[in-house]
Structure 1
Amino acid sequence: MKLFAGCELLYDVPAPAPVVLMLRPRSGAGQWVISEEYQIEPSIPVIEYTDPYGNLCQRLMTPEGKFKIQISLVVETADAIDTAPGAPFVPVQDLPDDVLQFLLPSRYCQSDRLGALAAEITENALPGYDQVEAIRSWIQTRVTYQYGTSDASTSAVETAEKRIGVCRDFAHLGISLCRSINIPARMVVGYLHLLDPMDLHAWFEAFVDGRWYTFDATQKEPRGNRIVVAYGRDAADVALATQYGAMTLQEMRVWVEEKKVDS
C-alpha cells in the first residue's frame, strides 16, 4: 500500500537550544520512500548525519520563540510483515558482529533481570522464532495497554511488575525478554496505518534464522503497512527529538493515510 504519512511538531523555545531530530525514514526492506517534504519554520541551517544504527539525524540550533517542524512522506509499504514459525535460534557464536550489541542490557531494557520470566514464558516453545512469538503473545494478553500509566523513565522491569503501559513499554519488555534468552532484539519506531488512536508507534524486531523479524505486542495479529523511521537499543536511541536545552512541545499531530491513485 502507498501511504501518505507525517507529523507536525510545534515548540516554544525560551532561549536558543541545540536539538537532534530523527524524523526521516530510509528506503529499505518493506518500504520505499517515494517523496518527502521537510519544513522548518523559521528556516535555519541543518546538518544531517547517520548515527551508528543507520538512522538519519538532523542537527540544528533552535531559535528563540515559536518553532515548527513538519515532515510529509509518501511511502510504498508492504501489506504484510514476514512471519516464520519454526525459524531456528542463531547461536551467539554465529551472530554477525553488528548484531551482538542487541544482546546486551540497555538503559530501559534490563534483560539481565528478566531471565526467569522469559524462561517461564518460553518453556514450551521451540528455540528461535517461536520463543519470540510466545513472548509477544504473552505481553499482548497479559499486559494492559493504557495511556498515562507510564512515563519517559519507565523501564522493562517496571512494566513486567505493573503489567500496564503503552507501545514503548511493550517494546522494551519484549526486547528485554528476548535478550535474556540470547535472542538479539532491537527497538523500532515509526508509523502504522490504522493505528487507533493515531500517534507515532513503537515495536520490536528479533534476530532469528539469520535475519530480523517484526513483532508488535500491541496487536493481536501480524500487521503490515508500517513505515520504519529509526532503530536502536531502546527508546534512548530513537527519540524523535533529543533536546539540550529548555524546549516545550506545545502541539503534536501525526497522520497516516492511504495515498489514493490520482485520477
Structure 2
Amino acid sequence: MKLFAGCELVYDVPAPAPVVFMLRPRSGAGQWVISEEYQIEPGVPVIEYTDSYGNLCQRLMTPEGRFRIQITLVVETADEIDVAPGAPFVPVQDLPDDTLQFLLPSRYCQSDRLGPLAADITANATPGYDQVEAIRNWIQSHVIYQYGTSDSSTSAIETAEKRIGVCRDFAHLGISLCRSLNIPARMVVGYLHNLKPMDLHAWFEAFVDGRWYTFDATQKEPRGNRIVVAYGRDAADVALATQFGEMQLQEMKVWVEEKL
C-alpha cells in the first residue's frame, strides 16, 4: 500500500536551543520512500548525520519564539509483515557482531531482571521465533493498553509489575523478555496505518534464524503497512526530538492515510 504520512510539531522556545530531530525514514526492507518534504518555520540551517544505528538525524538550533517543523512522506509499504513459526534460535556464538548490543540491558529494558518471567511465559515454546511470539501474545493478553498510565521514565520492570501502559511500554517489555532469553531485540518507532487513536507508534523486532522479524504486542494479529523511522536499544535512542534546552511542545499532529 502507498501511504501518505507525516507529523507536525509546534514549539514555544524561550531562548535559542539546540535540538536533534529523528524524522526521516530510510528506504529498506518493507518500505520505499517515494517522496518527502520538510517545512521549517522560521528557516534555520540543518545538519544531517547518521547515528550508530543507521538512523537519519537532523541537528539544528531553534530560534527564540514559535518554531514549527513538519515532514510529509509518501511511502510504498508492505501490506503484510513476515511471520515464521518454528524459525530457530541463533546461539550467541553464531550471532552477527552488530546484533550483540541488542542482547544487553539498557536504560528502559532491564533484561537482567526479567529472566524468570520470560522463562515462565515461554516454557512450552520452541526456542526462537515461537518464544518471541509467546512473549508478544502474553503482553497483548496480560498488559492493558491505556493512555496516561505511564510517562517517559517508565521502564520494563514497572510495566511488568503494573501490567498497564502504552506502545512504548509494550515494546520495552517485549525487548527485555527476549534479551533475557539471549534473543537480540530492538526498539522500532514509526507510523502504522489505521492506528487508533492516531499517533507515532512503537513496536519491537527480534533476531531469529539469521534475520530480524517484526512483533507488535499492541495488535492481536500481524499487521503490515508500517513506516519505520528509527531503530535503537530502547526509547532513549529513538526519540522524535532530543532537546538540549527549554522547548515547550505546544502542538503535535500525526497522520497516516492511504495514497490513491
Same fold (TM over 0.5): yes
Aligned to 1:114: 114
Distance 1:69 1:228 in 2: 19
The yes-or-no answer on 1:237 pairing with 2:237 is yes
Q: Name the counterpart of 1:3.
A: 3
Q: CA RMSD in A?
A: 0.2
For residue 147 of structure 1, report the CA deviation from its aligned partner.
0.2
Name the residue aligned to 2:64: 64
Residue correspondence of structure 1 range 106-255 to structure 2 within 5 A = 106-255=106-255
Q: How much does 1:177 deviate?
A: 0.1
Count of aligned positions: 260
* Secondary structure, counterpart of 2:7 in structure 1: strand
Please state how far the C-alpha of 1:61 moved relative to its aligned partner: 0.5
1:12-27 matches, cutoff 5 A: 12-27=12-27
In structure 1, distance between residues paired with 2:39 and 2:106: 33
Q: CA deviation at 1:97?
A: 0.3
TM-score by length of 2: 1.00
2:190 and 2:177 map into 1 onto residues whose CA distance is 22
Matched, 1:38 2:38: yes
Q: Cα deviation per residue 1:113-143 (whole Å; 9 max; x = unaligned)?
A: 0000000000000000000000000000000
Note the alpha carbon deviations across 1:88-113, whole angstroms, 9 max, x for none: 00000000000000000000000000
**Which residue identity lines up with residue 50 of structure 2 in the other structure?**
T
State how far apart, in whole Å, the 2-side matches of 1:29 and 1:172 are: 23
Counterparts of 1:15 and 1:188 in 2: how far apart (Å)?
A: 32
Residue 27 of structure 1, CA deviation? 0.1
Shift of 1:250: 0.4
How many Å separate the matches in 1 of 2:140 and 2:38?
A: 35
Where in structure 2 are there 5+ consecutive unaligned residues? Answer: none
Q: Does 2:55 align with 1:55?
A: yes
| Distance apart, 1:223 and its partner CA | 0.1
In 2, the alpha carbon distance for the partners of 1:175 and 1:125 equals 17
- Between the aligned partners of 1:61 and 1:94, the Cα distance in structure 2 is 44
Partner of 1:82: 82
For residue 17 of structure 2, what is the amino acid of its counterpart? A
Please report how far the alpha carbon of residue 86 of structure 1 lies from its aligned counterpart in structure 2 after TM superposition: 0.1
Deviation at 1:44, TM superposition (A): 0.3
State the shift of 1:194 in Å.
0.1
| Offset of residue 31 of structure 1 | 0.0
Distance (whole Å) between structure 2 residues aligned to residue 74 and residue 102 of structure 1 = 30
Instruction: Describe the SS at the equivalent of 2:148.
Output: coil
- CA–CA distance in 2 between the matches of 1:251 and 1:211? 38
Partners of 2:162 and 2:108 lie apart in 1 by: 15
